[in-house]
Amino acid sequence: MAYIGLGLMGGPMSGRLVSRGWSVRGFDIAADRMAAAAKQGVELFDTAQKAAQGAACVILNLPTTQAVETVMFGPQGLSPHLRPPQTVVDFSTISVEQGRAFIARLHRESGCHWIDAPVSGGPAAAATGTLTVMAGATDDGRAAVESLMADVAQRFTVLGPPGSGLVAKMLNQLMVGCLHATVAELSNVAEKAGIQADLVPQALAGGHADGILFQQIYPRMRARDFAPRGYVRQLLKDLDMVIAFSRSLQAATPMTQQAQALYQALADQGHSELDTSAVIKIYEDANGRPSAMAQSLSTSPR
């Protein structure tokens, strides 16, 4: 198989596949990512075209819609060189509308299946094969990737025809963005309330407020541990897409828009490369005092 994009998610996932006995041909535009992948047993190529040559499955794990378009349909794109039964599996989070257009274009130009298969779970789950994969695929496309999904996913759900997985990922990111903002707010209140704030996850465990994301990101917020497991810039990009997609459906998303505003403010402060849990920084200035933005939000009229 070919693996295009060996970054925060693609690096550990390609390593996982090698460990499960797959022969992985890799490419990334960043030399350091290529070097890290080589240490995990990925065979490297200097172009995406060379990596994809003869590969039964071509995996994409790229940061933006534009990056996917460039790799597939740009001047050095893969589409003209692919032929059935080669299958494209795109683990990227990209625009629903453009993703559907890419799927149709590939089928029109080459006849190959494209499975949109965005993921949730982060780099740790990518490394252990415990990702949640939400997919869109035909029956034939699903059959072509079942063995792959068995090695990378704890849960693999096909929600409908190609393009359906991208819709599910928009729903996932809607929840993730809003929950990050809510947990940051909870943490800020807990730290100021005079209780043993480190025990909040234990106190809420098993109740209606509990959840995997809460248990993961609350301790990181408390510790101010912002080493990237997912970048601020990536979640902000995803929230922008959620809002655009929702507007196309005439579906209101006021909470998502508030979360997007908080992440935009965080990016404007120069924190785009931090972990998504860094949204708690919105609530304090450089000296740990309440930030002007947080105070203005708290005192705005209803």
Task: For the chain, give the mean pLDDT.
Answer: 95
C-alpha separations of 180 from 30, 242, 274, 278 in Å: 29, 15, 14, 9
With a pLDDT cut of 70, the percent of the chain lying above it is 94
Show Cβ contacts of residue 229 under 8 Å, excluding neighbours closer than 6 positions.
8, 122, 123, 124, 275, 276
**Which amino acid is residue 136, in one-letter code?**
G
Where are the domains positioned within the chain? Answer: 2-160, 167-299
Output Rg (C-alpha) for the chain, integer angstroms: 20
Least confident of 66-80, 187-201, 225-239, 278-292: 278-292
Q: Can you list the alpha helix ranges (DSSP code H) found in the chain?
A: 10-19, 31-39, 48-52, 65-73, 96-110, 122-128, 139-152, 164-192, 200-204, 212-223, 232-248, 254-268, 292-299
pLDDT in tens, 122-140: 999 999 999 999 999 999 9
Residue 245's pLDDT is: 97
Which CATH code is given to the segment(s) 2-160? 3.40.50.720
Instruction: Give the residue carrying structure tokens 């779970």.
Output: 121
Q: Are 164 and 115 in contact (CB under 8 A)?
A: no
Q: In CATH, what is the architecture of 167-299?
A: Orthogonal Bundle (1.10)
What is the pTM for the complete model shown?
0.91
Residue 164's pLDDT is: 98
pLDDT in tens, 243-266: 999 999 999 999 999 999 999 999
